[in-house]
Structure formats: structure tokens, C-alpha cells
Amino acid sequence: MDRKKDWKVYSEDEIKQQLAGELRHWFLENGWIRRKYRTEGWKGTLMVVNTVGHLAEAAWHHPDLTVSYAYVIVKLMSHDMKGITDRDFALARKIEQVVQWQPAKEGVLEGTPNDDQRFRYIKYDDGAA
């Protein structure tokens, strides 16, 4: 069964509405939804790239990435649908959830020490690192 024929391609206004909620760090640019993750350096950049790569491959939906020393830009669009669909939003939410996860805020997993630059690897949006 070809589910794609039932997928909705969102309008610009609908995309902006979707992004205004839980994807507030993402924005629409030239037909893509886009997000820049800032890191503490190359180690963090590679960790973000590998995380995004794993999630994209598992989802069978592959973003475009721009990779530099201290940041990763993730861009999503459903090429086959020529626009933004639910799968773009779903993968963006999963990437956001995993990359921005902070174990110290949830319980017994303490997370990396933020007071020692040798261990910091990502700049969280809430200023925690």
C-alpha cells in the first residue's frame, strides 16, 4: 500500500504554526524546516551528526546536514512530496527529543559535568550548558 499518496503537504502558514509549538527552535527556510545545534567543539558535533544519522536511518527519512567545528545544521523536507509533511515534523521532534535530552533533569543518570569544558559537548537551548 502506498501511504504517501495520503500524506498532506503543509502550507507555509501551517508549517509556521506547527513549528511554533514544540519545535520552536526550528524555522522554515527556502522550503525546508531547519535547525542549528550548537556544540562545544568537534567531539560534540560528531555526536550530534551520529545521533541524527541513526534516527534518520531508522526512520528511513534523510535530512540534509551542514557540519562545522561547533555546529550542525539539520534541514528536512519530503523530497518525494516536494514539501513538508508529517514525517518531517515527526523526525524533527525525535531529533529534538534525543539531542536536547538532559539526563540530570530526569533522575539517576547524572549527565556530563557542565563545569568542566573537557566533558561538555552540546550547548543546550535552556542555558544548562
Provide the residue ranges of all domains of the chain, joining segments of one domain with +. 28-101+117-123
Q: pLDDT value at position 32?
A: 98
CA distance 52 to 100: 12
Helix (H) or strand (E) holding 58: helix 42-59
Q: pLDDT value at position 128?
A: 43
10: amino acid identity, one letter = Y
CATH number of 28-101+117-123: 3.30.1360.20
Spans of the chain below 70 pLDDT: 1-5, 127-129
Q: How far is CA 111 from CA 87, 103, 106, 108, 115, in A?
A: 30, 5, 10, 9, 12
Radius of gyration (C-alpha) of the chain in whole angstroms = 16
* Predicted TM-score of the model (pTM): 0.88
Residue 106 DSSP label: T
Q: pLDDT value at position 110?
A: 83
